[in-house]
Structure 1
Amino acid sequence: MARKRLPQTTAHVRIVRQSWQAGQIEGEVRANQYEWSFAWNFRQGELLIEPSLGRALIREPLGRFLEAKDYQLEPGGDYSFTIRAEL
């Protein structure tokens, strides 16, 4: 029996601004035809994503990525991660 491949999408993240004093990282993320801007207040664990179109699809995987990589992220840096879903 052939195994079915799980769908996946690569999300691309660009860090625009970072402030350790304010406890915030701002950036952009895109996956397929979707594009969002985000602001993550890591001290409060608050992740704001705009626009609202498709936001529910990216919130959880982006949040996990930011929590795992927060100290490695730098302004101007380009990063990517895989989402186990077709967007």
Structure 2
Amino acid sequence: MQKGVINGKYKTLNPGKVVVTSIGGSTREEMEWVNMNPLFWLVNVDYLEDVRVIAAHDNMKSINNILMLDLSGQITSETIGAKLLA
């Protein structure tokens, strides 16, 4: 975002904004850049995960990670056994 590579200008809803429920795991410099930055909009998870809000996006894509995948197609993205990893 700082270099303009990712800018959200083609988004249907909230163009040019980064809409998030939280910010973490960043350096102090990154947090200072985000603080009071009008590019970022911090919202409640009830808004961000509302199916009507998601449906309002044209050509919506979602990216997530997985830790393990079994042969039946089951995926885990937060734990392996009882150990929490995400």
Give TM-score scaled by structure 1 length: 0.24
Q: Greater share of strand residues, 1 or 2?
A: 1
Q: Using CA pairs below 8 Å that are at least 6 residues apart, which structure has the higher relative contact order?
A: 1
Give TM-score scaled by structure 2 length: 0.24
The structure whose Rg is larger is 2
